[in-house]
């Protein structure tokens, strides 16, 4: 619009970013999807099998069992984040937004685990919960759980390992919803809240009648970010439980399942085609979540806000 000759400068500004992004993000993603539609023959040739690999993943007993196990474990992982991390993050944000002294110190401290590597956090918790160290034991004795096998080795039992790891992950990542909620709460005009307080509204009422309705859009953003992050998680499980996601695959999630399928484990060789298929399923799950958010949630939000 502004100029007539071919706008070379626009190309120059955009090209480097578009090139790197296309080459190392979009192209590999498409190549991986294409790869999931092929199978390797013994002589190394690739044959097109259409959705054969996906059907195998969902129906072949050797594949469907670990796949659904990883999927449902991932759902548990996500549900724990949604029901603990986000409400507690919101509570902390409301407390931090209440104009108390030293709020920035609390905020800085509570965000610290989020900037640490998952590997370090996972391992530190693994040591702390380790029965060899037994830091935990005096507390267990006091609670009358001193002889409880599960409580002694929270990461070593099938029934408790996944929940324990989810809680470690909540401990680490709570800073993100806290900050996003805090940012939304700070943007609410203080006159609104003060007016309600002058009228004698309790903090509880102020929260539900004024603050919460105004931060509902952030609730949606936090939910979808949690969903994407959880269904893409890998580091914590790999660092604490190894690629086998023990005990007995009870902590296996999509990320670790993808890694094992692609690279192989123990005596089973890696299978890049099936690895790409698992990645394709993960993409499908994440896209389903994103679309649900965009069409189900955000559209409704727009209707409410006109």
Please report, as residue ranges, which positions from 110 to 149 form the binding site for other proteins (by CB under 8 A): 110-121, 123-125, 127-128, 133-135
Near other proteins by CB under 8 A, which window of 18-26, 71-79, 144-152, 153-161?
18-26
Minimum CB distance to other proteins, residue 1 (Å): 5
**Is residue 288 at the binding interface for other proteins, with CB under 8 A as the rule?**
no
Q: Which stretch binds other proteins (CB under 8 A): 54-62, 63-71, 146-154, 179-187?
A: 179-187
46, 83, 159, 203: which one binds other proteins (CB under 8 A): 203
Nearer to other proteins, 27 or 159 (CB): 27
Shortest CB 119 distance to other proteins, Å: 5
Residues 38-57 that bind other proteins (CB under 8 A): none
Q: Which is nearer to other proteins, 73 or 126 (CB)?
A: 126
Structure tokens at 91: 């509570």
Piece of 56-64, 67-75, 158-166, 281-289 that binds other proteins (CB under 8 A): 281-289
The Cα-based distances of 290 to 95, 283, 300 in angstroms read: 30, 10, 15
Q: Vertex 293, ends 292 and 297: CA angle to 5°?
A: 105
Note whether 31 and 22 are within 8 A (CB).
Answer: no
How large is the angle between the packed helices 61-80 and 52-59, nearest 10 degrees?
80
Contact residue for other proteins among 20, 139, 192, 288 (CB under 8 A): 20
Q: Which is nearer to other proteins, 162 or 282 (CB)?
A: 282
Rounding to the nearest 10 degrees, give the CA dihedral for residues 148, 149, 154, 156.
Answer: 180
Q: What is the 3-state secondary structure (H, E, C) of 93-133?
A: HHHHCCCCCCHHHHHHHHHHHHHCCHHHHHHHHHHHCCCCC
Contact stretch for other proteins (CB under 8 A) within 3-11, 50-58, 64-72, 151-159 = 3-11
Q: 74, 38, 98, 86: which is closest to 256 by C-alpha? A: 74
Nearer to other proteins, 28 or 296 (CB): 28
Overall size of the chain counted in residues: 306
């Amino acid at each position: 619009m502004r100029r007539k000759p071919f706008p070379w400068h626009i190309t120059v500004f955009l090209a480097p970013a578009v090139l790197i992004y296309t080459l190392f993000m979009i192209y590999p993603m498409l190549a991986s999807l294409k790869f999931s539609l092929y199978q390797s023959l013994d002589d190394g040739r690739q044959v097109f099998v259409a959705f054969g690999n996906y059907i195998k993943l969902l129906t072949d007993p050797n594949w469907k069992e670990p796949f659904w196990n990883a999927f449902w474990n991932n759902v548990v992982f996500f549900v724990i984040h949604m029901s603990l991390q986000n409400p507690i993050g919101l509570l902390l944000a409301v407390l931090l937004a209440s104009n108390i002294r030293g709020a920035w110190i609390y905020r800085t401290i509570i965000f610290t685990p989020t900037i640490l590597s998952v590997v370090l956090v996972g391992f530190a918790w693994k040591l702390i919960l380790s029965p060899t160290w037994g830091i935990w034991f005096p507390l267990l004795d006091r609670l009358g759980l001193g002889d409880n096998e599960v409580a002694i080795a929270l990461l070593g039992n099938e029934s408790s390992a996944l929940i324990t790891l989810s809680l470690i992950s909540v401990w680490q990542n709570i800073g993100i919803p806290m900050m996003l909620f805090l940012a939304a709460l700070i943007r609410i005009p203080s006159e609104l809240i003060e007016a309600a307080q002058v009228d004698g509204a309790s903090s509880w009422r102020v929260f539900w009648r004024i603050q919460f309705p105004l931060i509902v859009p952030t609730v949606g953003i936090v939910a979808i970010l949690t969903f994407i992050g959880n269904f893409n998680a890998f580091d914590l499980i790999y660092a604490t439980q190894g690629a086998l996601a023990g005990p007995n695959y009870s902590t296996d999630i999509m990320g670790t399942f993808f890694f094992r399928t692609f690279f192989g484990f123990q005596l089973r060789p890696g299978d890049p085609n099936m690895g790409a298929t698992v990645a394709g399923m993960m993409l499908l799950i994440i896209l389903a979540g994103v679309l649900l958010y965009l069409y189900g949630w955000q559209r409704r939000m727009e209707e409410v806000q006109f």
